[in-house]
Amino acid sequence: MQCSVCQTSMQSLGQIPIRTGGTSGGWHLLLGEFADVTEGVFPLDVYRCSRCKRVEFFDLDESLPAR
């Protein structure tokens, strides 16, 4: 991967799970585990530029739903 700002090779930091959906705060206290029924977790690949320290996220395995 190349940095979109300085065109330097980026270092892979691996995949991290990104949580989407679900609820938080008072609804989570009221509904308990039912509040997380609509939650989804998507793994995103993270890269960091060794030159400008920019961090970018990519969906290299195309696991995200189409919009």
Q: How confident is the model at residue 43, as a pLDDT?
A: 85
User: Which of 23, 20, 17, 19 lies closest to 36 in space, CA to CA?
Assistant: 23
Tell me the β-bridge partners of 9. Answer: 2
Q: How confident is the model at residue 33, as a pLDDT?
A: 62
Retrieve residue 47's tokens: 């890269």
Strands (E), 1-67: 10-20, 40-49, 55-58
Q: How confident is the model at residue 37, as a pLDDT?
A: 59
* pLDDT tens by residue, 9-51: 999 999 988 877 666 556 555 666 655 556 677 888 999 999 9
Q: How confident is the model at residue 18, as a pLDDT?
A: 83
Q: How confident is the model at residue 41, as a pLDDT?
A: 77
Other beta carbons within 10 angstroms of residue 21's beta carbon come to 10
Other beta carbons within 10 angstroms of residue 10's beta carbon come to 21
